[in-house]
A = this chain, B = another copy of it.
């Protein structure tokens, strides 16, 4: 089962062990995995709301997200738009390695821990290691697929479904690295954040959450979503996990934390 190997991975590769777990990770041999781990120069902890990358300031550093969440945001005058979300295991700011500037910002949502990957090490390692290069290429393409899904969801679902969809996606993405809990998805998101993610006002995000609660589909309190029926929630949100490219395991991908038993 996937969970067992995940434990080994994070023990042996404490910084990068979550990278594309259950996905393109198996394209890499041990030398690749060691090279990946070695790309991390140092760790850094971000407090909630701290800006790691700003589109205003050129950056020559990417990172791997070790713990916590990062928002991808685009500012537009006074407004902030959350156009994407990073979970542990994601390599973030690929832009730094190839472009002068970034089109968006990276801001921590709650406390987060990252491992800094300098451009120099990245370029050299990728040029040498084919398996790693392919796995990174895969990661970027999955990232793009997720972005397309966000585009679709934003355009075509109503507010309660948008919010439900965000949580369904997070649940699955966390499950890849064995971080998902059985009955809950814990996030530090405020309703303000959820509104900015789903393109609705804070007030309406609140009403959407109320509707989810009233229709007994899910309960969201202080950023944490609780549900007893993931299938129902996913159906409601029209969530189809294919775009996350998680192997062919289907529902097995929704593997749960062992520590948390039913009731």
Contacts and interface: CB of A to CB of B under 8 A. Distances in A.
A14 interface: no
Nearest to A102: B145
Q: Interface size for chain A: under 10, 10 to 19, 20 to 34, or 35 or more residues?
A: 35 or more
A98 interface: yes
A76 B152 contact: yes
Contacts of A144: 140, 143-144, 147
A204 interface: no
B199 A148 contact: no
A133 to B, nearest CB: 8
Contacts of A83: 148, 151-152, 155
Contact of A147 (B127, B148, B198): B148
A155 B198 contact: yes
A156 interface: yes
A182 interface: no
23 contacts: A74-B148, A74-B149, A74-B152, A76-B156, A81-B156, A83-B155, A94-B141, A95-B141, A95-B145, A98-B141, A99-B245, A101-B242, A103-B149, A104-B148, A140-B144, A143-B144, A144-B144, A147-B147, A150-B151, A154-B155, A154-B199, A155-B198, A156-B199
A-B pairs with lowest CB-CB distance, top 10: A155-B199, A103-B145, A147-B147, A103-B243, A154-B154, A83-B151, A154-B155, A83-B148, A81-B152, A144-B144
Given A103-B245, A137-B140, 12 more contacts: A72-B148, A76-B152, A79-B156, A83-B152, A94-B141, A98-B138, A98-B141, A99-B245, A103-B243, A147-B151, A151-B154, A156-B199
